[in-house]
Amino acid sequence: MRTTEGPLVELVETVQSPAPMGELELQVVARAGKSFAAHQFHRGALRVLRPHYLDDSGQVCYVVVNPGGAYLGADLYVLDVEVGDGADLLLTTQSATKIYRTPESFAEQRMTVRLGEGSRLELAPDQVIAYREASYRQKTHITMRPTSSLVMAEVITPGWSPDGASFRYEELRLRNEIHVQTDGGTRLLALDNLLVRPPLDDVTGTGFMEGYSHLGSLVVADARVDQALADELHQLAEKFDAYTGISLSATMDGITALVLRSLSNSTEKLNTLLGGCSGLLRQRWYGQAPLNLRKY
């Protein structure tokens, strides 16, 4: 079945792009129960720190660094990540993604991820902060197998402006596509498209931010996702000071995506909530402790 090459996508891909400001390629493979980078390449304003092993599970942790500290207008950052069969990668960032003023332009990050059979990716970047008059587009295109496992968490703040007012940026787009690949073809499992355009609509009130300042999302795509897990994560999320919804995608080739969306009033509160949920999955599925990245 044709999915990724449809006319809609072609239109998107023909948009002219500048030469990347930063490029990163990372290919992680597993050998004897331990994951490591078999290929690593970086150019310009993106690189990774030396890998960590946070526990004895064999999961390798890479930390992406943007030495410039911020994304500027017309900057393009391209990341290409492959997690090979049976490999296990935790990918995070060193600090918040800050987008400065981007007059008449936008900063963009494009990330392509391929997950092999029985592989696992935990994607846990720091929050996105857009400054006054900033525009940012983030596109994450993930292709996984029915046996791969994906957990991704994201937090968006109201941004920053000199007068302390919220939502003074121009536009934030965060688009995640999750495709499931089998020998029979590739199908789109979930399209998670967030578009915040404060100058166009009041984003603070009913229907959008509901009076809250911060937005968090957790997406889990895994064959073990079911309604019982959604109910359990809902019970857990209700203990936090946030307004949270959880639902399940359609099931395709035996794999289901769970999406948790949460509104609250600080990055800390959302990180605690999202960390609690991903911690439950780490414990149950892998016997790992909850993530505590801030100690590194």
Partner 1 sequence: MLNTRTSIHQLALRQLTDSALPTGAFAHSLGFETYIERGVVHDEESFGVWLAAFVSQQLTYSDALAIRFLYEGVSVLELDELLTAQLLPRQVREASVKMGGRLIEIGTEVFPSEELDAYRALVSGGRAAGHQPLAFAVVARSLGVPQAEAIAAYLFATVTSLTQNAVRAIPLGQNAGQRVLRKMHDAVAAAVERTARLTPDDFGAVSPGLEISQMRHERQRARMFMS
Spatial CA neighbour of 258 closest among 284, 291, 286, 224: 224
Q: Which of 93, 146, 173, 236 binds partner 1 (CB under 8 A)?
A: 173
Closest CB to partner 1 among residues 1, 19: 1
**Size of the residue set binding partner 1 (CB under 8 A):** 44
At 284, is the secondary structure helix, strand, or coil?
helix
Q: What are phi and psi of 97, to 5 degrees?
A: -85, 110
- The answer to whether 110 contacts partner 1 (rule: CB under 8 A) is no
Binding to partner 1 by CB under 8 A, coded x per residue (else -) over 233-272, reads -x--------xxxxxxxx------x-x-xxx---------
CA-to-CA distance for 60 and 51, rounded, in angstroms? Answer: 6
When asked if residue 1 is in the footprint of partner 1 (CB under 8 A), the reply is yes
Are 249 and 260 a contacting pair, CB within 8 Å?
no
In this chain, which of 42, 132, 141, 175 binds partner 1, going by CB under 8 A?
175
Contact 170, 199 (CB under 8 A): yes
Minimum Å gap between C-beta 264 and partner 1 is 11
Tokens 């931010």, located at residue: 209
Could you identify the residue written with the tokens 């994304």? 71
Q: How far is the CB of 150 from partner 1 (least distance, A)?
A: 15
Positions in 195-224 near partner 1 (CB under 8 A)? 195, 201, 205-210, 215
The answer to whether the beta carbons of residues 219 and 192 sit under 8 Å apart is: yes
Interface positions with partner 1 (CB under 8 A): 1-3, 6-9, 11-12, 137, 173, 175, 177, 187-195, 201, 205-210, 215, 234, 243-250, 257, 259, 261-263
